[in-house]
Amino acid sequence: MFDFLIVGAGFAGSVLAERLARGSGKKVLLIDRRTHIAGNAYDHYDDAGVLIHKYGPHIFHTNSKEVFAYLSRFTEWRPYEHRVLASVDGQLVPMPINLDTINKLYGLTLNSMQLEDFFASIAEPKERILTSEDVVISKVGRQLYEKFFRNYTRKQWGLDPSDLDASVTSRVPIRMNRDDRYFTDTYQAMPLRGYTRMFENMLDHPNIKIMLNTDYRDVVGLIPYREMIYTGPVDEFFDFCYGKLPYRSLQFKFETINKSVYQPAPVVNYPNEHAYTRVTEFKYLTGQEHGKTSIVYEYPCSQGDPYYPVPRPENAELYKKYRTLAEQTPGVHFVGRLATYKYYNMDQVTAQALTVYDKLSGGKKFRFDDMPVRTYYQVLLPCPLSIADDEQPVTVSQTVSQDATTPAINKNLTPVHAQHNRALNGNGATRIANKA
Ligand SMILES: Cc1cc2nc3c(=O)[nH]c(=O)nc-3n(C[C@H](O)[C@H](O)[C@H](O)COP(=O)(O)OP(=O)(O)OC[C@H]3O[C@@H](n4cnc5c(N)ncnc54)[C@H](O)[C@@H]3O)c2cc1C
59 lines ligand 1 (CB under 6 A): yes
Residue 251 to residues 278, 307, 362, 427, Cα–Cα distance (Å): 12, 11, 42, 32
Q: Residue ranges of the domains in the chain?
A: 2-79+187-243+310-434, 96-171
Mean pLDDT of 351-365: 88
pLDDT digits (tens, 9 = 90+) for 89-122: 999 999 999 999 999 999 999 999 999 999 999 9
Distance (Å, whole) CA 13 – CA 353:
8
User: Which of 231, 310, 347 is the best mutation target for the ligand 1 pocket, counting ligand atoms within 8 Å of the beta carbon and taking the most?
Assistant: 231
Q: How many CA atoms lie within 13 A of 345 on its CB side?
A: 14
Cα torsion angle, 301, 286, 180, 130, sign: positive
Distance (Å, whole) CA 199 – CA 190:
13
pTM of the model: 0.85
pLDDT at 167: 73
User: Which of 18, 40, 211, 216 is the best mutation target for the ligand 1 pocket, counting ligand atoms within 8 Å of the beta carbon and taking the most?
Assistant: 40
pLDDT at 169: 67
pLDDT at 170: 64
Q: pLDDT over 70 for what percent of the chain?
A: 82
Q: By three-state DSSP, how is residue 416 classified?
A: helix
Confidence grade of residue 364 (pLDDT, cut at 50, 70, 90): low
Question: Which atom of ligand 1 approaches the CA of 56 most closely?
Answer: 1
Nearest to 209 by CA among 353, 420, 17, 8: 17
Confidence grade of residue 131 (pLDDT, cut at 50, 70, 90): confident
pLDDT at 346: 97
Confidence grade of residue 136 (pLDDT, cut at 50, 70, 90): confident
CB–CB of 297/282 below 8 Å?
Answer: no
Mean pLDDT of 208-220: 96
pLDDT at 127: 85
Whole-number mean pLDDT of the chain? 84
Q: Where are the alpha helices (DSSP H) in 98-208?
A: 99-106, 112-122, 132-144, 151-157, 195-202
How many A from CA of 345 to the centre of ligand 1? 9
105 lines ligand 1 (CB under 6 A): no
CB–CB of 149/169 below 8 Å?
Answer: yes
CATH of 2-79+187-243+310-434, one of 3.30.420.40, 3.40.190.10, 3.40.710.10, 3.40.50.720: 3.40.50.720
Distance (Å, whole) CA 276 – CA 300:
7
Calculate Rg over the CA atoms of the chain.
Answer: 23
Q: Say how many C-beta atoms besides its own lie within 10 A of residue 102's C-beta.
A: 23
Examine the pLDDT at 147 and tell me if it is beyond 90. Answer: yes
pLDDT digits (tens, 9 = 90+) for 383-399: 222 222 222 222 222 22
Instruction: Report which protein residue has its CA nearest ligand 1's atom 2.
Output: 56
CB–CB of 103/118 below 8 Å?
Answer: no
DSSP character at residue 245: P
31 lines ligand 1 (CB under 6 A): yes
Amino acid (1-letter code) at residue 276: Y
pLDDT digits (tens, 9 = 90+) for 41-91: 999 999 999 999 999 999 999 999 999 999 999 999 999 999 999 999 999
Least confident window among 237-241, 251-255, 290-294, 314-318:
314-318
Q: Say how many C-beta atoms besides its own lie within 10 A of residue 141's C-beta.
A: 17
Confidence grade of residue 313 (pLDDT, cut at 50, 70, 90): confident
Q: What are the phi and psi torsion angles at 155 (to 5°)?
A: -65, -50
230 lines ligand 1 (CB under 6 A): no
How many A from CA of 10 to the centre of ligand 1? 6
- Tell me whether residue 229 is exposed, middle or buried, using C-beta atoms within 10 angstroms of its C-beta: 0 to 12, 13 to 18, 19 or more: buried
Number of helices followed by number of strands (H, E) in the chain: 14, 20
Question: Which atom of ligand 1 approaches the CA of 214 most closely?
Answer: 43
How many A from CA of 39 to the centre of ligand 1? 5
71 lines ligand 1 (CB under 6 A): no
Peptide bond between residue 96 and the one before it cis (omega within 30 degrees of 0) = yes
How many A from CA of 299 to the centre of ligand 1? 18
